Amino acid sequence: DIVLTQSPALAVPLGQRATISCRASQSVSTATYNFMHWYQQRPGQQPKLLIYDASNLASSIPARFSGSGSGTDFTLTINPVQSDDIATYYCQQSRELPLTFGSGTKLEIK
């Protein structure tokens, strides 16, 4: 199975940049696609897709969110961070089965 590693928590001041990383135990990219996706889960809610294929913004997601990376190292950036962004953020790979998620990074406002 492909293991995705995320830092457990991150504290960022309001209005600053948050950078959340995800490292895969093996490459999740091909020559054509990066099979890495990002989700936001607010407390008590279902997850919501933010970024697909590493860098494509999902529908209705504000441009404050962006994604980058390839191979084994990926990043979700939120700039600027707003109070609404308090949530846990998960990466997910779909390069191979089983589909796997990172353990999540909890974003807190400093």
Partner 1 sequence: EVQLVESGGGLEQPGRSLKLSCAASGFSFSARDMAWVRQAPPKGLEWVASISPGAVSTYYRDSVKGRFTISRDNAKSILYLQMDSLRSEDTATYYCATLGARHDMDAWGQGTSVSVSS
The β-bridge relationship of strands 4-5 and 18-24 is antiparallel
46 is an interface residue for partner 1 by CB under 8 A: yes
- Asked if 60 touches partner 1 (CB under 8 A), the answer is no
Residue whose CB is less far from partner 1, 80 or 96: 96
Site for partner 1 in 64-93 (CB under 8 A): 90, 92
CA distance 18 to 1: 28
Q: Which of 62, 88, 64 is nearest to 10 (CA)?
A: 88
Residue 47 interacts with partner 1 (CB under 8 A): yes or no: yes
Does the footprint of partner 1 cover residue 104 (CB under 8 A)? Answer: yes
Cβ at position 37, least distance to partner 1 in Å? 4
Residue 30 and residue 59 in contact, taking contact as beta carbons nearer than 8 Å: no
Please list the residues that pair with 11 across neighbouring strands. 108
Q: In terms of CB distance, is 27 or 94 closer to partner 1?
A: 94
Q: Is 7 left (phi over 0), alpha (psi -120 to 50) or beta?
A: beta
Number of residues that bind partner 1 (CB under 8 A): 25
5-44 binders of partner 1 (CB under 8 A):
33, 35, 37, 39, 41
- With binding defined as CB under 8 A, does residue 100 bind partner 1? yes
> Is there a contact between 78 and 86 (Cβ–Cβ < 8 Å)?
no
